[in-house]
Amino acid sequence: MIYTVTLNPSIDYVVNMNQLTEGAVNRVNTEHFYAGGKGINVSQILNQHEIDNIALGFISGFTGDFIQSSLHEKGIKTDFIQLKEGYSRINMKVKTLSDETEINGSGPKISNEEIEKLYQKLDGLTSEDTLVLAGSIPASLPDDFYEQIMKYVAPKQVKVIVDATKNLLLNVLKYQPFLIKPNHHEIAEMFNVTISSTEDLLHYGNQLKEMGAQNVLISMGGDGAILISETGEIYRSNVPKGTVKNSVGAGDSMVAGFIAGYQKDASYEEALRLGAASGSATAFSSDVATRGYIDELVSQINVTKL
Ligand X SMILES: O=P(O)(O)OC[C@H]1O[C@](O)(COP(=O)(O)O)[C@@H](O)[C@@H]1O
Ligand Y SMILES: Nc1ncnc2c1ncn2[C@@H]1O[C@H](COP(=O)(O)OP(=O)(O)O)[C@@H](O)[C@H]1O
Q: Choose, by CB under 6 A, the member of 91, 171, 229, 246 that binds ligand X.
A: 91
User: How far is the C-alpha of 57 from the C-alpha of 188, rounded, in Å?
Assistant: 29
- Pick one of 94, 161, 250, 276: the residue that binds ligand X (CB under 6 A): 250
Least distance to ligand X, CB of residue 131, Å: 17
Size of the site for ligand X (CB under 6 A): 16
CB 40, min distance to ligand Y, A: 14
- Closest separation in Å from C-beta 284 to ligand X: 14
Does 252 bind ligand X (CB under 6 A)? Our answer is: yes
- Would you list the DSSP string of 202-252? HHHHHHHHHTT-SEEEEE-GGG-EEEE-TTS-EEEE---S---S--TTHHH
Specify the stretch interacting with ligand Y by CB under 6 A; choose among 4-12, 191-199, 200-208, 248-256.
248-256
303: left (phi over 0), alpha (psi -120 to 50) or beta: beta
Residue 223 C-beta: closest distance to ligand Y, Å: 8
Using the minimum distance from each CB to ligand Y, give the nearer residue, 35 or 125.
35
Give which of ligand Y, ligand X, none residue 222 binds (C-beta under 5 to 8 Å, depending on kind): ligand Y
* 186 counts as binding ligand X under rule CB under 6 A: no
Q: Give the span between the Cα atoms of 146 and 177, in whole angstroms.
A: 11
Nearer residue to ligand X within complex by CB, 92 or 230:
92
Restricted to residues 136-195, the positions that interact with ligand Y (CB under 6 A) are 183
Measured between alpha carbons, how far is 209 from 134 in angstroms, rounded to an integer?
19
Residues lying near ligand X in the complex (CB under 6 A): 8, 10, 12, 36-38, 41, 91, 104, 135-136, 248-252
